[in-house]
Homo-oligomer: A and B are copies of this chain.
Amino acid sequence: MNCLVAQSGGPTTAINASLSGVISAALKDQNITNIYGALNGVQGILNENIIELHKTFTNDKSLEQLKHTPAMFLGSCRFKLDKEITSPQYEKIFDTFAKYDIKYFFYIGGNDSMDTVDKLSQFAKEQGVDIKVIGIPKTVDNDLFGTDHTPGFGSAAKYVATSILNIAHDAYIYDMKSVTIVEIMGRNAGWLTAASALARNEYNVSPDLIYLPEVPFDTYHFLNDVKNLISKKNNVIIAVSEGIKDLNGNYVSATATNQPTDGFGHALLSGTGKALEGIVKTALNCKVRSIEFSVLQRSAMHIASKTDLDEAFSLGNKAVEYARENLTGIMLTLNRKSNDPYTIDIDYIPISEVANKEKQIPRHWINEAGNDINDELLAYMKPLIIGESPIKFENGLPHYMNINHLLDKA
């Protein structure tokens, strides 16, 4: 019998580590003959776009390189299966499973992908087909329900904190007033923006202010916060989630972009950082700059967290073990035993309890004013960025897995 693995949703630096973990364990499993990978998530199953991973990954060196390659080796998709789990779509997928003699299907992804795991495992159950369908979590957003944290978050958090520290060193060199606004990913959950607080140390108090989607954003209070700080110190650095919403629940990024257009009359999609930059520039007479980490925060393998990559790998490994133990319709989880020393267990949760839920930062982990986080949240995040995962360099650049199989298709 064979197994199939696929990846879905937004990229992280840890999602290939989980893939590496799955392949590593499957290679050692005597009952598994072939290890297949579907390209571009479930779309690859529907289109029978399937590659043979057991031929590509034959040794520890290649698995190690995969573990240290950012984004998705198998490509991704943004694809929701039909709501009605009796549709021909499901039959097509299970026909492919049968054709390739697939008994285990591992899906590495975020919220939408867990919905897919939920539906496919339901279909298998209803049809009485013996296929184990298992979800392995990943997302830089850390917003998956049922797990202490999500693989991919720790590395993104390390990128965010390191970059904020670098930005602080860059900003503090001039003896003049300046405001720097850093926009960080997170539409509804502020975990990654909160990670900016990890940059604080014995000399650096930045970010001076942190605004999260969990707290309604009040421009009046924001400007007061900034004015107050800039009257006392030279450089103010602000971390803000892309997804902050005003008191009426509208995205702040949308507010300021109703008017501007480019030279052709098309709306310019300014981000949240740009919107706040405009607001501060209007109110204060000093240098204002906004910085958007954009996709780099989820793809910067060169500053990945070793803890994160190792955990992601372990989850992949354990997923094969759970399938062998006849578990199905589950998502693997990380359970924290203690912060210091940091200890975790790998466990699982029925997928129906996970799918389509979103985990936000609890309000009591945010300060009362809603412009900073507290020490409890800091203690929660600290262990997740520990350790540097050595990547191989060639000619001065990271030496990643060749992804030609994704490029040939166009």
Question: Smallest Cβ distance from A75 to chain B, in angstroms?
Answer: 5
Q: Which of the residues B173, B278, B409 comes within 8 Å of A75, measured between beta carbons?
A: B173
Question: Smallest Cβ distance from A399 to chain B, in angstroms?
Answer: 9
- Using A75-B174, A76-B173 as known contacts, say yes or no to A266 and B278 having CB atoms under 8 A apart: yes
Q: Kindly list chain B residues whose C-beta atoms are within 8 Å of the C-beta of A173.
A: 7, 11, 40, 71-72, 75-76, 406
Q: Kindly list chain B residues whose C-beta atoms are within 8 Å of the C-beta of A201.
A: 397
The answer, yes or no, to whether A305 is at the interface (CB within 8 Å) is yes
Binds B, one of A98-106, A209-217, A365-373, A381-389: A381-389
Contact call B291/A294, Cβ cutoff below 8 A: yes
A-B contact pairs, 11 of them (CB 8 A): A40-B175, A76-B173, A161-B396, A162-B398, A203-B407, A234-B410, A262-B270, A264-B282, A302-B302, A385-B396, A386-B395
Interface size band for A:
35 or more
User: What number of copies of this chain does the assembly contain?
Assistant: 2
Contact call B77/A169, Cβ cutoff below 8 A: no
Contact call B266/A262, Cβ cutoff below 8 A: no
Instruction: With CB as the reference atom, state the residue of chain B lying closest to A166.
Output: B299
Q: Kindly list chain B residues whose C-beta atoms are within 8 Å of the C-beta of A11.
A: 169-170, 173
Instruction: With CB as the reference atom, state the residue of chain B lying closest to A282.
Output: B264
CA distance A299 to B303 in the complex (A): 14
Contact call A161/B397, Cβ cutoff below 8 A: yes
- Using A263-B259, A263-B278, A396-B385 as known contacts, say yes or no to A69 and B174 having CB atoms under 8 A apart: no
Contact call B404/A203, Cβ cutoff below 8 A: yes
